[in-house]
Amino acid sequence: MKQEWQSFWLAVGFLTRIPMPVKIDYSQSLMNRSSLYFPLVGLLLGGLYGALFAGLAVFWSLPVCIGLVLAFHLWITGAFHEDGLADSMDALGGGYTVVRRLEIMKDSRIGTYGAVALIVALGLKALLLMDADPVWLALLMTPAISRLTPLLLMRFLPYVTDPDTSKSKPVAEAFSGQRLLLAALFTVVVALLFSVWLPALLAVVLVALLWGASLKRQLGGYTGDALGASVVFTELVFLLALTL
């Protein structure tokens, strides 16, 4: 139980800026185990977003509330997944070989492809959230559903980034099928409880298959940035399906 408790808080610290209130006996194994809790951390983030939205809605209009919630999201997560999206789009859009794509992905500077992808993704997310009914449900469920997709990619694709420099190394090794199953079951149960299982299934499966196939073809596998991009893609597909 102590190891699982630490794994949970390690996942919180990895995915957010929330301080860890417990001492972590860090190890590679513990970091690998923490991936199980990604959907749970997403659900907790969704709870924060929903509560913040409810409080803001007392004072401001819907567009202002959505903008403030998105700003809070970018702050509390450190724009972790959005950074992965921008790097992935720069790499796949500007590189013509696997080696060159990986080099671009490690470059901290943002290019045209990455900037355009961020603008489109954030703008579309804001519009979809404004169209969602109820908004609180979309805010609650989107982070939880979307954080299952990178676990599928980690399990079924090889890891291709230089392990000495990649920020994704701690969660890119030895992710067991048993823990993937547990994470998937948790996500399915939550989706069923809130009656969003069909949009959730569509989003996770569609992004995992299409983005996974694209990564396999263009990189030979996944990188940490590609995992981050998968979260953003899943969010958008989920919201598109939810607002049909």
pLDDT for the residue 183: 96
CA torsion through residues 159, 164, 165, 171, sign: positive
Residue 109 has pLDDT above 80, yes or no: yes
- pLDDT, residue 162, reads 60
Q: Which two tokens stand for residue 230?
A: 């998968």
Cβ contact 200:145 at 8 Å: yes
Residue type for position 146:
S
List the structure tokens of 102: 């990986």
Please tell me whether residue 158 adopts helix, strand or coil conformation: coil
Taking the C-alpha atoms of residue 188 and residue 148, their distance in angstroms, rounded to an integer, is 10
The tens digit of pLDDT for each residue in 37-73 reads 999 999 999 999 999 999 999 999 999 999 999 999 9
Rounded distance between C-alpha atoms, residue 234 and residue 162, angstroms: 26
Residue-wise pLDDT for 183-216, tens only, equals 999 999 999 999 999 999 999 999 999 999 999 9
Measured torsion, CA atoms of residues 82, 88, 185, 39, in degrees rounded to the nearest 10 = -20
Give pTM, 2 decimals: 0.94
For 86-128, the three-class secondary structure string (H helix, E strand, C coil) is HHHHHHHHHCCCHHHHHHHHHCCCCCHHHHHHHHHHHHHHHHH
Side chain identity, residue 241: A
Q: Among 84, 113, 89, which Cα is nearest to 214's?
A: 89
Under 8 Å CB-to-CB from 139, ≥6 apart: which residues? 46, 49, 50, 53, 69, 129
pLDDT above 60 (res 174) = no
Burial of 71 (0-12, 13-18, 19+ CB in 10 A): exposed
State pLDDT tens for residues 117-144: 999 999 999 999 999 999 999 999 999 9
**Locate tokens 């950074």: which residue?**
83
pLDDT > 90: percent of the chain = 81
